Structure 1
Amino acid sequence: MRAVSQRTFGGPDVLEIVEVERPRPRLNEVLVRVRAAGVNPIDAHVRSGVLPLLGAPPFTVGWDVSGVVEEVAPGVTRFTVGDEVYGMPRIPYAASAYAEYVAAPSRQLAHKPAALTHVEAAGLPLAGLTAWQALVDCAGLAAGQRILIHGGGGGVGHLAIQIARHRGAEVVTTASAAKHDFVRQLGADQVVDYRAVDFGTVVEPVDVVLETVGAHTAQRSLDVLRPGGALITIVDMRDADLARQAARRGVRFFGVTAEPDHVGLAALAELVDSGKLKLHVGHVAPLADVSRIHRILDAGSTTGKAVLTL
């Protein structure tokens, strides 16, 4: 089968198309014929060596997949051959999703939302589970609360805005001026241009902060959080000093990285199929153009998600 591989850490040009053996599903796994693979910032961090999750190359990056079950191993009870599935298997270990076939534990996948194409569904798992686990599982976001979402135009942010609105919360988000219309259409009540204004001077106290951008934004967000609130970061997850600062202010601290979870995937699919959650795919390209998509990712110029087709 075709897959993307790399022999060294480096920039997007280290990614190359190679021929490798098709994986064989083990007990409790399914073999998925991949129709599309989502591209996420973590993929670029692993590719470059900034986040060496997979050890030294060679390896294949990628976790988000949408496709069709081609083989079912003993122990699998949730799927049959021909089922359309999506998910984010194995993270933080290698899923090797930039490939024509992926073997994955069946309980790390869910039925694909019927309302989405494979391209759209491939962009949902990692970003969607990150937002869901942050807002629902960690914060317990509820109606009547206020949330500040940093980076509302990004992959996680644009889904978090919609999930927060579904939960009945008032949504404040930061975004560049070019993305203001986009995040307002998603349901943001207040939009702050982080390049022109210090959010700390214009945002009234909030109950929850979801921080997705880094650059000390999480620490600065403590100033707008109410006591008893929740600071959730997907960037400074292991910042012990930040956690101590939050505790001193009476704020709960959560460092979130999405876990494979078929329950969360099913909840996201239900929101999609009921029309309450829409995924925006900003860039789509065939597998052969993987280096170009990674250059766009490195430039930080994506709105929504980027997806590779197979």
Structure 2
Amino acid sequence: MKAVRVHEFGDVSNLRYEEIETSEPAADEVRVRIHAAGVNPVDYKIRQGAPFPIDLPWIPGWDIAGVVDEVGTDESEFEPGDEVYGILPFPGDGGAYAEAVTVSPTEGKLSQKPESLSFEEAAAVPMAGLTAWRSMQLTDLQAGQRILIHAAAGGVGHFAVQFAKHRGAHVIGTASGSNEEFLRDLGVDEFVNYREERFEDAVEPVDVVIDAIGGDTFTRSLEIVKESGVIDNLPLNLTPEQEVAADGHGIRVVQADTLDREWLDEITEVLDDGTVAPTLDTVFPLAEAQQAHELSEEGHVRGKIVLKTSEGDEN
């Protein structure tokens, strides 16, 4: 089968499209013929050499959508022919940038693919969608509350906007001016062009902040969160000083790196009923993973980047 592998960490030239052996599933695993794989910022950060428990050569990626073609002797949940999507064990070895992968459905958080989505659309959901869904749980966002979502047009952000609106919240999103119409269509009630104004000057106090940026953005967000409010710091990059400052403002900070499998089933429901939809920025052939990483590294992706395999080309 074809796969993209990294043999040494560094720039995009280290992504090699090559032929490797197709693995067989263990007793508790299924093999999925991957039709599409989602691209996330963590992929290029590890490729660049970010500390992560990865052995080389490494196949990047965690988001997959495809068809089960073989099941292990102890696996009873899925059958050959099932259309599935999900996230490979994270943190873990990845393996999504390939034409097939073996995975335990429980550890890999697999679910039946939403009938309403193409494989490419489904591959855009798992990591970003689960992260945004987790934010809704951790912050306990309620109807009528005010929520500020930073980087609202990005992968996590554009799902968070839709989930927050689904909960009945008043949604404020920050992004560049070119994304205003896109975010208005998704449902934001207020838009802040971060290139033209400081959000802390433009926004009235909020109950919840979803911070996908961290650093100075987190510190400035403390100024507009109500006492007893909450910030979800997605990059997990707070300094001790920032933690003390948040405590001094009476603000609860949540940080987590776990994603629950049952959330994917819940997300599937709101995808299939049309409440939420993924946005695809660009779909690249698997062989063009280098171009996909170059676009991802620019940091201005609207929605998600997806890689399509030759399996996907057959449909």
Assess if the C-alpha contact under 8 Å between 1:126 and 1:258 holds in 2: no
Identity %, equivalent residues: 40
Separation in structure 2 between the aligned mates of residue 159 and residue 221 of structure 1, nearest angstrom: 20
Q: Which runs of 5+ in 1 are unaligned?
A: none
Give the C-alpha shift of residue 174 in structure 1. 0.4
Give the C-alpha shift of residue 95 in structure 1. 2.4
Q: Which range moves more in the overlay, 180-189 or 238-247?
A: 238-247
In structure 1, the residue matched to 2:313 is none
In structure 2, the residue matched to 1:5 is 5
The amino acid of 2:119's aligned partner reads: H
The amino acid of 1:123's aligned partner reads: A
In structure 2, the residue matched to 1:78 is 77
The amino acid of 2:98's aligned partner reads: A
Assess if the C-alpha contact under 8 Å between 2:206 and 2:229 holds in 1: yes
Deviations 1:243-266 (A, max 9, x none): 33222222111123352x321111
Assess if the C-alpha contact under 8 Å between 2:152 and 2:174 holds in 1: yes
Deviations 1:75-109 (A, max 9, x none): 32321111111011111111211011111121211
Deviations 1:198-254 (A, max 9, x none): 110111111110011234111110111111111101113454432332222221111
Paired residue secondary structure (2:161): helix
Deviations 1:118-170 (A, max 9, x none): 000001000000000011x2011110111000011101101100000001100
Q: Which range moves more in the overlay, 191-200 or 226-235?
A: 226-235
Separation in structure 1 between the aligned mates of residue 221 and residue 75 of structure 2, nearest angstrom: 45
Q: Which range moves more in the overlay, 208-217 or 145-154?
A: 208-217
In structure 2, the residue matched to 1:102 is 101
Q: How many residues align?
A: 307
Assess if the C-alpha contact under 8 Å between 1:134 and 1:256 holds in 2: no
Paired residue secondary structure (2:127): helix
In structure 2, the residue matched to 1:286 is 285
Separation in structure 2 between the aligned mates of residue 241 and residue 267 of structure 1, nearest angstrom: 37
Separation in structure 2 between the aligned mates of residue 240 and residue 130 of structure 1, nearest angstrom: 24
How do residues 188-203 of structure 1 correspond to structure 2 at under 5 angstroms? 188-203=188-203
In structure 1, the residue matched to 2:144 is 144
How do residues 131-280 of structure 1 correspond to structure 2 at under 5 angstroms? 131-135=132-136, 137-237=137-237, 239-257=239-257, 259=259, 261-280=260-279
Q: Which range moves more in the overlay, 53-62 or 268-277?
A: 53-62
Separation in structure 1 between the aligned mates of residue 127 and residue 33 of structure 2, nearest angstrom: 19
Separation in structure 1 between the aligned mates of residue 26 and residue 130 of structure 2, nearest angstrom: 25
In structure 1, the residue matched to 2:312 is none
How do residues 51-90 of structure 1 correspond to structure 2 at under 5 angstroms? 51-55=50-54, 57-90=56-89
In structure 1, the residue matched to 2:301 is 302
The amino acid of 2:42's aligned partner reads: I
Separation in structure 2 between the aligned mates of residue 126 and residue 60 of structure 1, nearest angstrom: 17
Separation in structure 1 between the aligned mates of residue 116 and residue 93 of structure 2, nearest angstrom: 29
Separation in structure 2 between the aligned mates of residue 242 and residue 105 of structure 1, nearest angstrom: 39
Assess if the C-alpha contact under 8 Å between 1:155 and 1:303 holds in 2: yes
Give the C-alpha shift of residue 67 in structure 1. 0.4
Deviations 1:249-306 (A, max 9, x none): 22111123352x3211111110010110010001001111110111111112311100
Q: Which runs of 5+ in 2 are unaligned?
A: 310-315
TM-score, with structure 2 as normaliser: 0.94
Assess if the C-alpha contact under 8 Å between 1:237 and 1:256 holds in 2: no
The alignment's C-alpha RMSD in Å is 1.4
Change (3 A) 1:109 1:202: same
